[in-house]
Chains A and B, each alone.
Chain A
Amino acid sequence: MTAMVTLRDVSKTFTGSSGPVHAVDGVTLDVERGDVFGIIGYSGAGKSTLVRLINGLERVTGGQVLIDGQDVTDHSERQLRSVRVGIGFIFQQFNLLNSRTVAGNVGYPLRVAGWPKERREARVAELLEFVGLVDKARQYPDQLSGGQKQRVGIARALATSPQLLLADEATSALDPETTKDVLDLLRRVNLELGVTVVVITHEMSVVSYLCNKVAVMENGKVAEQGSVYDIFSAPQQEVTRRFITSALHDRPRPDVLERLRERHPGRIVTVSVREEAGSGTLLTQQLRAHGVDGSIVYGGITEVDSRPLGSLTLELVGDDTSIDALIADLRVRTDVEEHVRPAASGEGRSR
């Protein structure tokens, strides 16, 4: 099966006033049909440029872009326009036309595509139903809340029944509650309408909630990519670890660890919790088997791609040999990090 989007070694270099800027630098990735593909990176990583290379709003300076198997790299602007009709795009700032009503905005891409008035009106009604804004059809964008504006944006992007939807920081201007509504809507777009979605974001929570695959970008390059669960549970790159820590908050920071030590005299370890290993049952079994008392002092477990992921930090009380044996047994199945006491190691670093 051909991929929905294939980027082969694509680059985009802007000629800035202080020399060339390599916004995107040799990115290769495949977005398969039905994927919700997250592209995550800090601001300036090149992700917004990358998504615009997909629909040709920006032209590549190197490499190839294939949409549904069709090479569009050398398409003229006119040829690209018909490609764009089949690709929805939603924006961080919504970019609605203030001179048109909600219905006028949703119907605009249908005008561009040359639909007759009657079909257009029927389709607009259907779309407003889908995003739950039927009663706002005659209102203007400046009368809507941020979440409602983005739902109009999504309805507009879906108007021509595209196979592919590109979302550029679609929830970054929204509050957490509204963000969840919009993410749920995007999930419905993927599941109910079968639309392939590419999500650009700087928030790991968006990726963990919505995506099945992810590419982590830094300095215009993809640092690592793969299934969201694999990347989350075994990050290879520092930038990925930073994103994961910011999303999970499961591991104690050094200052938190300091306070934990003051209250808990026993040995402190952090045990990773993943789908296959280190789950609650395994942990309690092992504690019982080795005759060690364990109390949970810190931790967090979240769901990533519908699977559990996180870690628990425990204080272990018992004789040292039993605890060593317990840790060794746990390490067969999962990662265990012991936070060695500064007095014992003289270093204060955990290993």
Chain B
Amino acid sequence: MNSGSASLWPTFLQAIVETLQMVSVTLLVGGFAGLVIGILLYTTRAGNLLANRPVFTALNVLVNTVRPIPFIIFITAIQPLTVEVTGTSYGTEAVIFPMAIMATFGTSRIVEQNLVALDPGVIEAARAMGAGPLRIILTVIIPEALGPLVLGYTFLFVAITDMSAMAGAVAGGGLGDFALQYGYQRFNPVVTWFTLGVIVVIVQLGQVLGNWLARRVMRR
């Protein structure tokens, strides 16, 4: 940041805000939508609470199709849809849209994998007490898997921060964009490294918070 430019600081702080904005909105929207789809994947699986082969197969194929697409290509591929929804094809908002979609599918798989480990006995017990599917999802499935789910979302947070760094592709702003523009393209590795350090700190903070929360939830 010392390359003759104290003027870089406001831009840098702005980049931090943009990164936090992208990450938090994506985590919220993608995290919730992913939770819903993940629970549907788990419950519609054969032999489970809402066993439904067509729904399961459709969701499964959808998730498997979207997830392996490299994010940088995904951004450009759904650009027409992004313009339709957000009204713009570049900037922070324009990158949040593809991020939220990608995060939704990533989360759904993480959620499903954590739920599969659940003891089916507790669900059977709730059924035997006369509880309906929605109640079982809200009061048995989610609370019983909360510890692993928190760790799953912590993993997701790191993945989303990683994704946000590619926002530079559509002039999305954020720390990744900043590092490319002011570090790499201006041959100033110190700026790149410094930015990298800040990203690492954000990721670490998120991980520590997630671990602490999961420990509290699991009480062990």
The chain A residues found within 8 Å of chain B, CB to CB, are: 55, 57, 78, 81-85, 87, 89, 91, 93, 95-100, 108-109, 111-113, 140, 142, 156, 160
Contact = CB atoms under 8 A, between A and B. Distances in A.
Given A97-B140, A98-B144, A99-B146, A81 B124 contact: no
Contacts of B216: none
B122 A96 contact: yes
Looking at chain B, what size class is its interface with the partner chain?
20 to 34
B46 to A, nearest CB: 11
Interface stretch (B128-136, B164-172, B188-196): B128-136
Given A95-B124, A99-B143, 6 more contacts: A84-B129, A91-B124, A93-B119, A96-B122, A99-B146, A112-B130
Given A97-B144, A99-B146, A78 B132 contact: yes
A113 B130 contact: yes
Given A95-B124, A96-B122, A97-B122, A109 B130 contact: yes
B49 to A, nearest CB: 11
A142 B143 CA distance: 15
A66 to B, nearest CB: 19
B119 A95 contact: yes
A109 B131 CA distance: 8
B70 interface: no
19 contacts: A57-B128, A81-B131, A82-B130, A83-B130, A85-B129, A85-B130, A89-B129, A91-B121, A91-B124, A93-B121, A95-B122, A96-B125, A97-B125, A97-B140, A97-B144, A111-B139, A112-B126, A113-B130, A156-B129
Which 10 residue pairs of A and B lie closest in terms of their CB atoms, listed nearest first? A95-B125, A89-B128, A95-B121, A85-B130, A99-B143, A84-B130, A109-B129, A81-B130, A112-B131, A95-B122
Contacts of A91: 121, 124-125
A140 B135 CA distance: 21
Most buried by B among A57, A99, A108, A142: A99
A111 to B, nearest CB: 8
B125 A112 contact: no
Contacts of A81: 130-132
Interface in B134-157: 135, 139-140, 143-144, 146
Given A81-B132, A84-B128, A109-B129, A97 B121 contact: no
